[in-house]
């Protein structure tokens, strides 16, 4: 199937919304995906222009790792090797997409109490990433994944 950003976004949005995201205290590198075939991990906070650091807690960046075998139901995403600089990405076996959770700063007290209207996801287009895997092939993997879970 040809790469289709709208369909890709729909599948990724479902993955992100079903993840075990801890809005109060996200842990860098922890897999929070609800599906063993695909990893979703908090990566860092957004860049803060005032401090010139990644400490803007109103923006959370997540990495979504999709393996060439993620379309096989029951596939368990293999652990990543660690280096002093973070995890070691396998560009011949997986893509690493990014998404940002943008927290809503204008919520009412009632919305906060009810856990509603917390924010929204912004999903990076895979065409903007450097990958060794053909995007059409990755779209096939995602479609197979989606069929396995009736998405």
User: Do 3 and 138 form a contact (C-beta atoms < 8 A)?
Assistant: yes
Q: How many other C-beta atoms can be found within 10 angstroms of the C-beta atom of residue 110?
A: 9
Annotated domain spans of the chain: 5-148
Q: What is the crossing angle of helices 135-148 and 5-18, to 10°? A: 50
Nearest to 64 by CA among 94, 90, 91, 85: 94
Model pLDDT for residues 81-126, shown as the tens digit of each residue: 887 777 788 888 999 999 999 987 775 666 656 666 678 999 999 8
Distance CA 30, CA 28 (A): 6
Segment 51-76, tens digit of pLDDT: 999 999 999 999 999 999 999 999 99
User: Do 60 and 22 meet the contact criterion of CB atoms below 8 Å apart?
Assistant: no
End-to-end Cα, the chain, rounded Å: 16
């Amino acid at each position: 199937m040809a790469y289709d950003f709208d369909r890709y976004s729909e599948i990724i949005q479902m993955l992100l919304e079903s993840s075990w995201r801890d809005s109060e205290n996200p842990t860098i590198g922890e897999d929070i995906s609800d599906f063993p075939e695909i990893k979703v991990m908090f990566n860092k906070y957004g860049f803060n222009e005032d401090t010139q650091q990644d400490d803007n807690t109103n923006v959370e960046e997540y990495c979504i790792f999709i393996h060439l075998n993620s379309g096989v139901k029951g596939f368990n995403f293999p652990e990543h090797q660690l280096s002093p600089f973070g995890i070691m990405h396998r560009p011949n076996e997986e893509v690493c997409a990014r998404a940002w959770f943008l927290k809503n700063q204008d919520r009412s007290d009632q919305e906060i109490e009810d856990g509603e209207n917390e924010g929204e996801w912004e999903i990076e287009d895979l065409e903007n990433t450097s990958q060794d895997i053909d995007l059409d092939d990755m779209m096939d993997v995602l479609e197979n994944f989606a069929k396995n879970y009736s998405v």
